[in-house]
Amino acid sequence: MGRLDYLAYIKERMPQKRYMHTLGVEETAMKLAKHYGASVEAAQTAAILHDVAKYADVAWMEQIVRDEQLDMRLIGWGSELLHGPVAAVIATREFGITDEDVLNAMRYHTTGRANMSNLEKILYVADMLEPNRQFPGVDELREMMYDDLNDVLEACVKHSLTHLIASGIAVFPQSIECYNDLMSSERNL
Ligand SMILES: [Fe+2]
Ligand SMILES: [Fe+2]
Protein backbone atom coordinates (compact mmCIF):
# COMPACT_ATOMS: atom_id res chain seq x y z
CA MET A 1 0.00 0.00 0.00
CA GLY A 2 1.38 3.33 -1.01
CA ARG A 3 0.73 6.70 -2.56
CA LEU A 4 -1.09 5.46 -5.66
CA ASP A 5 -3.38 3.21 -3.62
CA TYR A 6 -4.22 6.11 -1.31
CA LEU A 7 -4.86 8.43 -4.24
CA ALA A 8 -7.12 5.93 -6.01
CA TYR A 9 -9.11 5.48 -2.79
CA ILE A 10 -9.61 9.18 -2.07
CA LYS A 11 -10.29 10.18 -5.69
CA GLU A 12 -13.52 8.17 -5.65
CA ARG A 13 -14.65 9.83 -2.44
CA MET A 14 -14.30 13.54 -3.18
CA PRO A 15 -14.99 16.11 -5.90
CA GLN A 16 -12.15 17.13 -8.21
CA LYS A 17 -11.63 20.43 -6.37
CA ARG A 18 -11.02 18.65 -3.07
CA TYR A 19 -8.72 16.19 -4.83
CA MET A 20 -6.65 19.09 -6.18
CA HIS A 21 -6.60 20.59 -2.68
CA THR A 22 -5.29 17.26 -1.38
CA LEU A 23 -2.47 17.21 -3.96
CA GLY A 24 -1.63 20.77 -2.92
CA VAL A 25 -1.52 19.76 0.75
CA GLU A 26 0.71 16.80 -0.16
CA GLU A 27 3.17 19.04 -2.00
CA THR A 28 3.22 21.70 0.74
CA ALA A 29 3.42 19.24 3.63
CA MET A 30 6.37 17.44 2.01
CA LYS A 31 8.21 20.74 1.48
CA LEU A 32 7.56 21.80 5.07
CA ALA A 33 8.66 18.41 6.42
CA LYS A 34 11.91 18.58 4.47
CA HIS A 35 12.51 22.16 5.61
CA TYR A 36 11.77 21.52 9.29
CA GLY A 37 13.41 18.09 9.54
CA ALA A 38 10.26 16.00 9.92
CA SER A 39 9.60 12.73 8.10
CA VAL A 40 8.70 13.56 4.49
CA GLU A 41 7.08 10.16 4.04
CA ALA A 42 4.91 10.59 7.16
CA ALA A 43 3.88 14.06 6.01
CA GLN A 44 2.98 12.70 2.58
CA THR A 45 0.80 9.89 3.94
CA ALA A 46 -0.99 12.15 6.42
CA ALA A 47 -1.54 14.78 3.72
CA ILE A 48 -2.99 12.42 1.11
CA LEU A 49 -5.45 10.85 3.55
CA HIS A 50 -6.35 13.88 5.72
CA ASP A 51 -9.63 14.70 3.92
CA VAL A 52 -10.63 11.12 3.00
CA ALA A 53 -13.76 11.40 5.18
CA LYS A 54 -14.72 14.95 4.19
CA TYR A 55 -17.77 13.78 2.24
CA ALA A 56 -18.66 10.74 4.32
CA ASP A 57 -22.12 10.38 5.82
CA VAL A 58 -22.39 12.28 9.10
CA ALA A 59 -24.47 9.61 10.88
CA TRP A 60 -21.90 6.98 9.83
CA MET A 61 -19.07 9.14 11.18
CA GLU A 62 -20.91 9.74 14.45
CA GLN A 63 -21.33 5.98 14.81
CA ILE A 64 -17.56 5.59 14.37
CA VAL A 65 -17.05 8.14 17.16
CA ARG A 66 -19.20 5.97 19.45
CA ASP A 67 -17.78 2.62 18.28
CA GLU A 68 -14.17 3.70 18.50
CA GLN A 69 -14.76 5.69 21.70
CA LEU A 70 -13.44 8.89 20.18
CA ASP A 71 -14.03 12.33 21.71
CA MET A 72 -17.80 12.42 22.32
CA ARG A 73 -17.70 16.22 22.10
CA LEU A 74 -17.55 15.69 18.31
CA ILE A 75 -21.17 14.53 18.17
CA GLY A 76 -23.35 17.23 16.68
CA TRP A 77 -20.51 19.28 15.14
CA GLY A 78 -20.99 17.95 11.61
CA SER A 79 -18.54 16.78 8.99
CA GLU A 80 -16.24 19.77 9.31
CA LEU A 81 -15.16 18.55 12.74
CA LEU A 82 -15.78 14.81 12.31
CA HIS A 83 -13.77 14.22 9.15
CA GLY A 84 -10.30 14.51 10.74
CA PRO A 85 -10.72 11.98 13.55
CA VAL A 86 -12.65 9.65 11.21
CA ALA A 87 -9.89 9.89 8.56
CA ALA A 88 -7.48 8.39 11.10
CA VAL A 89 -9.87 5.47 11.67
CA ILE A 90 -10.18 4.86 7.92
CA ALA A 91 -6.39 5.05 7.50
CA THR A 92 -5.97 2.25 10.03
CA ARG A 93 -8.90 0.13 8.82
CA GLU A 94 -8.26 0.40 5.09
CA PHE A 95 -4.49 0.81 4.93
CA GLY A 96 -3.16 -0.57 8.22
CA ILE A 97 -1.55 2.73 9.18
CA THR A 98 -0.56 2.62 12.85
CA ASP A 99 1.98 5.45 13.16
CA GLU A 100 0.33 7.55 15.88
CA ASP A 101 2.02 10.73 14.71
CA VAL A 102 0.61 10.29 11.19
CA LEU A 103 -2.82 9.47 12.64
CA ASN A 104 -2.72 12.45 15.02
CA ALA A 105 -1.79 14.79 12.17
CA MET A 106 -4.97 13.65 10.38
CA ARG A 107 -7.09 13.72 13.55
CA TYR A 108 -6.24 17.28 14.48
CA HIS A 109 -5.75 18.92 11.09
CA THR A 110 -8.94 20.98 11.41
CA THR A 111 -9.03 21.80 15.11
CA GLY A 112 -5.41 21.76 16.17
CA ARG A 113 -4.87 20.89 19.83
CA ALA A 114 -2.54 21.64 22.71
CA ASN A 115 1.00 20.23 22.45
CA MET A 116 1.02 19.52 18.73
CA SER A 117 3.93 17.55 17.26
CA ASN A 118 5.91 19.01 14.38
CA LEU A 119 4.09 16.73 11.96
CA GLU A 120 0.71 17.89 13.29
CA LYS A 121 1.79 21.52 12.89
CA ILE A 122 3.01 20.83 9.35
CA LEU A 123 -0.28 19.30 8.23
CA TYR A 124 -2.35 22.06 9.86
CA VAL A 125 -0.31 24.73 8.09
CA ALA A 126 -0.13 22.87 4.76
CA ASP A 127 -3.91 22.34 4.81
CA MET A 128 -4.48 26.05 5.21
CA LEU A 129 -1.78 27.43 2.91
CA GLU A 130 -1.47 24.95 0.00
CA PRO A 131 -1.35 26.69 -3.39
CA ASN A 132 -5.07 26.26 -4.22
CA ARG A 133 -6.24 28.03 -1.05
CA GLN A 134 -7.49 31.54 -1.57
CA PHE A 135 -8.65 33.83 1.22
CA PRO A 136 -7.80 37.34 2.34
CA GLY A 137 -4.44 37.27 4.10
CA VAL A 138 -3.24 33.97 2.64
CA ASP A 139 -0.23 35.56 0.91
CA GLU A 140 1.08 37.10 4.15
CA LEU A 141 0.73 33.73 5.87
CA ARG A 142 2.49 31.95 2.99
CA GLU A 143 5.42 34.33 3.28
CA MET A 144 5.96 33.10 6.85
CA MET A 145 5.87 29.40 5.98
CA TYR A 146 9.59 28.68 5.97
CA ASP A 147 10.72 31.16 8.65
CA ASP A 148 9.49 29.47 11.83
CA LEU A 149 7.00 26.63 12.14
CA ASN A 150 5.59 27.81 15.48
CA ASP A 151 5.16 31.37 14.26
CA VAL A 152 3.30 30.37 11.10
CA LEU A 153 1.16 27.90 13.05
CA GLU A 154 0.26 30.59 15.55
CA ALA A 155 -0.62 33.02 12.76
CA CYS A 156 -2.78 30.35 11.06
CA VAL A 157 -4.60 29.42 14.27
CA LYS A 158 -5.25 33.07 15.09
CA HIS A 159 -6.52 33.63 11.55
CA SER A 160 -8.87 30.63 11.74
CA LEU A 161 -10.29 31.49 15.15
CA THR A 162 -10.70 35.15 14.27
CA HIS A 163 -12.60 34.15 11.14
CA LEU A 164 -14.87 31.76 13.08
CA ILE A 165 -15.64 34.33 15.75
CA ALA A 166 -16.20 37.15 13.25
CA SER A 167 -18.60 34.87 11.36
CA GLY A 168 -20.50 33.89 14.48
CA ILE A 169 -19.49 30.24 14.16
CA ALA A 170 -18.96 28.14 17.30
CA VAL A 171 -15.36 27.22 18.11
CA PHE A 172 -14.61 23.60 19.08
CA PRO A 173 -12.97 23.41 22.56
CA GLN A 174 -9.81 21.77 21.18
CA SER A 175 -9.18 24.79 18.97
CA ILE A 176 -9.40 27.06 22.01
CA GLU A 177 -7.02 24.70 23.83
CA CYS A 178 -4.66 24.92 20.86
CA TYR A 179 -4.76 28.71 20.91
CA ASN A 180 -4.29 28.92 24.69
CA ASP A 181 -1.37 26.51 24.49
CA LEU A 182 0.33 28.62 21.82
CA MET A 183 -0.22 31.79 23.82
CA SER A 184 0.95 30.31 27.12
CA SER A 185 4.06 28.71 25.60
CA GLU A 186 4.91 32.14 24.25
CA ARG A 187 4.58 33.64 27.76
CA ASN A 188 6.89 30.97 29.14
CA LEU A 189 9.75 31.65 26.73
FE1 LIG B 1 -10.02 18.78 6.30
FE1 LIG C 1 -7.93 19.73 3.81
186 has pLDDT over 90: no
Residue 188 confidence class, pLDDT cut points 50, 70, 90: low
Q: What is the mean pLDDT of the chain?
A: 97
Distance of CA 85 to the CA centre of its chain: 10
Domains of the chain: 3-187 (1.10.3210.10)
Q: Which ligand sits closest to the CA of 84? A: 1
The answer to whether residues 117 and 23 touch, using CB atoms and an 8 Å cutoff, is: no
Find the 65 Cα to ligand 1 centroid distance in Å: 17
Find the 106 Cα to ligand 1 centroid distance in Å: 8
Q: Which ligand sits closest to the CA of 106? A: 1
Q: What is the pLDDT of residues 5-22, one digit of tens each?
A: 999 999 999 999 999 999
Q: What is the pLDDT of residues 72-84, one digit of tens each?
A: 999 999 999 999 9
Find the 147 Cα to ligand 1 centroid distance in Å: 24
Instruction: Say what the pLDDT of residue 1 is.
Output: 82
Q: What is the pLDDT of residues 25-46, one digit of tens each?
A: 999 999 999 999 999 999 999 9
